[in-house]
């Protein structure tokens, strides 16, 4: 028993070193990408914003079928028609991910009408551009129900079949604000931090499940309706990401089986600095970047 424990302790740093070298080699060499032919992809919030670009990107990269969920029929229908015209089968269903009965009911409809979902993309989210004191209680609850709890219901609805098939991927479009929260969108940052914990837990929990993996993408500010009107201090220094770039990198991360992706990659620096710098130094970085005040300059998207 004692020898076994000593052996495991000696082995651990060797394994860590091996995986660091492997990651470095993979970073330098072109990675092998899995084919999406045969994959049935469901995207929550697939009608507009990043979700719409994700749908187009999955179709472009060869997915067999797409399913879009959302609350607004007009944009779902438009995106769906565009994908069908491009030659990929696409369906849409009205579904509010905050409503678990609706999620379970629509998941059953999807299985019967379209087939088994093999890639689930949890993308739907809302933001209330108000401080804690100014937000009404229902608005605070709504963002937790959509941004966090919605993922519980969708994942519970589709993951069991993925495990049976030994083929599946759960994707989360998270946010860098989950690791570096800022004021003015306290409900959003809290929901995204909670959603990140959900994905970290799920990713580890699926380690021994062959054929089923997870990808979490953490983008910086992206040019969609979500934070429309937000004024940042140095727009040229920190320009917003294009939603098509976020979509492309997300699909690529699924195909290369990458668990966590920071967009842009320079956001890693923020996460590292956060874990080593004293709070006063971090406050200076926030003051410099203007992130203290930028959240007060937009209305939110609910
Ligand atoms: N924009 C950014 O700066 C940014 C940065 C980092 C991460 N993200 C993340 O990227 C994801 C997509 O955001 P986006 O920028 O594309 O925002 P967006 O343009 O506002 O789109 C949000 C999408 O979520 C859907 N949605 C909202 N509530 C829903 C609900 N209850 N049930 C089903 N669908 C719902 C919306 O459709 P309906 O309104 O029709 O339901 C819409 O399709 C979000 O998870 C967001 O947190 C965005």
Instruction: Give the other-Cβ count within 10 Å of 168's Cβ.
Output: 24
Distances (CA, A) of 296 to 127, 129, 139, 183, 230: 12, 7, 17, 9, 8
CB of 188 closer than 6 angstroms to any ligand 1 atom: no
In a domain, residue 283? The reply is yes
Residue 18 belongs to a domain:
no
Is residue 300 lining ligand 1, measured as CB closer than 6 Å? no
Instruction: Please tell me the chain's helix, strand, coil percentages from 3-state DSSP, rounded to the nearest 5.
Output: 50, 15, 35
- Structure token digits, residue 121: 């993309």
- Continuous segment of H or E residues that includes residue 250: helix 243-255
Residues 116 and 39: their CA atoms lie apart, in Å, by: 9
Closest atom of ligand 1 to CA, residue 221: 3
Torsions phi, psi for 5 (to 5 deg): -65, -40
Q: Is residue 107 part of a domain?
A: yes
Q: Is 242 in the pocket of ligand 1 (CB under 6 A)?
A: no
Angstrom CA distances, 16 to 4, 11, 19, 26, 223, stand at: 18, 9, 5, 15, 37
The reply to whether 14 falls in a domain is: no
Which residues sit opposite 219 in a β-bridge? 263
pLDDT along the chain (302 residues), means of 10: 82 88 82 93 98 98 98 98 98 98 98 98 93 91 97 98 98 96 90 98 95 97 90 83 98 97 92 92 86 64 73
CATH classification of the domain holding 189: 3.40.50.720
Would you state the pLDDT for residue 294?
60
Query: Has residue 301 been placed in a domain?
Result: no
What pLDDT shows up at residue 164?
A: 97
**What's the pLDDT score for residue 290?**
75
- Tell me how far apart the alpha carbons of residues 192 and 62 are, in angstroms, rounded to a whole number: 30
Instruction: Give the CA distances from residue 93 to residues 56, 68, 127, 169, 184, in Å, rounded to whole numbers and listed in that order.
Output: 17, 6, 23, 21, 33
With beta carbons less than 8 A apart as the criterion, state whether 156 and 112 touch.
no
Q: Ligand 1 centre from 47 Cα, in Å?
A: 9
Residue nearest to atom 5 of ligand 1 (CA): 221
- CA 54/CA 124 separation, integer angstroms: 12
Is residue 24 situated within a structural domain? no
Whole-number Å distance, alpha carbon 126 to ligand 1 midpoint, is: 6
Residue nearest to atom 48 of ligand 1 (CA): 222
Give the CA diameter of the chain. 65
Out of 42, 50, 121, mutate this one to test ligand 1's pocket (max ligand atoms within 8 Å of CB): namely 50
Domain count, the chain: 1
Residue-range definition of the domain harbouring residue 190: 34-289
List the catalytic residues.
188
- The answer to whether residue 295 sits within a structural domain is no
What is the Å distance from ligand 1's center to 65 Cα? 21
Pocket perturbation via mutation, ligand 1, pick of 125, 194, 235 by most ligand atoms within 8 A of CB = 125
In a domain, 39, yes or no: yes
**pLDDT at site 295:** 59
Instruction: Report the pLDDT value the prediction gives residue 297, as an integer from 0 to 100.
Output: 63
């Amino acid at each position: 028993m004692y020898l076994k424990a000593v052996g495991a302790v000696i082995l651990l740093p060797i394994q860590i070193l091996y995986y660091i070298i492997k990651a470095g080699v993979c970073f330098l060499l072109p990675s092998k990408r899995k084919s999406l032919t045969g994959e049935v992809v469901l995207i929550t919030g697939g009608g507009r914003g990043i979700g719409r670009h994700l749908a187009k990107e999955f179709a472009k990269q060869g997915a067999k079928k797409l399913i879009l969920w959302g609350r607004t029929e007009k944009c779902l229908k438009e995106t769906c028609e565009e994908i069908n015209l491009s030659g990929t089968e696409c369906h849409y269903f009205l579904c509010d991910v905050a409503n678990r009965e609706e999620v379970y009911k629509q998941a059953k409809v999807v299985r019967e009408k379209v087939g088994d979902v093999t890639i689930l993309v949890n993308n739907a989210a809302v933001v209330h551009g108000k401080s804690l004191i100014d937000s009404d209680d229902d608005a605070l609850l709504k963002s937790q129900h959509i941004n966090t709890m919605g993922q519980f219901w969708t994942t519970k609805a589709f993951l069991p079949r993925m495990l049976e098939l030994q083929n599946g991927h759960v994707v989360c479009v998270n946010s860098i604000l989950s690791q570096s929260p800022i004021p003015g969108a306290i409900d959003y940052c809290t929901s995204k931090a909670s959603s990140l914990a959900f994905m970290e837990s799920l990713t580890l929990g699926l380690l021994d499940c062959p054929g089923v993996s997870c990808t979490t993408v953490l983008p910086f500010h992206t040019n969609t309706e979500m934070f429309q009107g937000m004024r940042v201090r140095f727009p040229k220094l920190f320009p917003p990401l294009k939603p098509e770039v976020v979509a492309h990198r997300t699909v690529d991360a699924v195909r290369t089986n990458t668990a966590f992706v920071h967009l842009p990659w320079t956001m890693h620096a923020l996460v590292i600095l956060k874990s080593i710098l004293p709070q006063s130094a971090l406050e200076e970085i926030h003051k410099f970047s203007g992130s203290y005040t930028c959240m007060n300059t937009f209305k939110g998207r609910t």
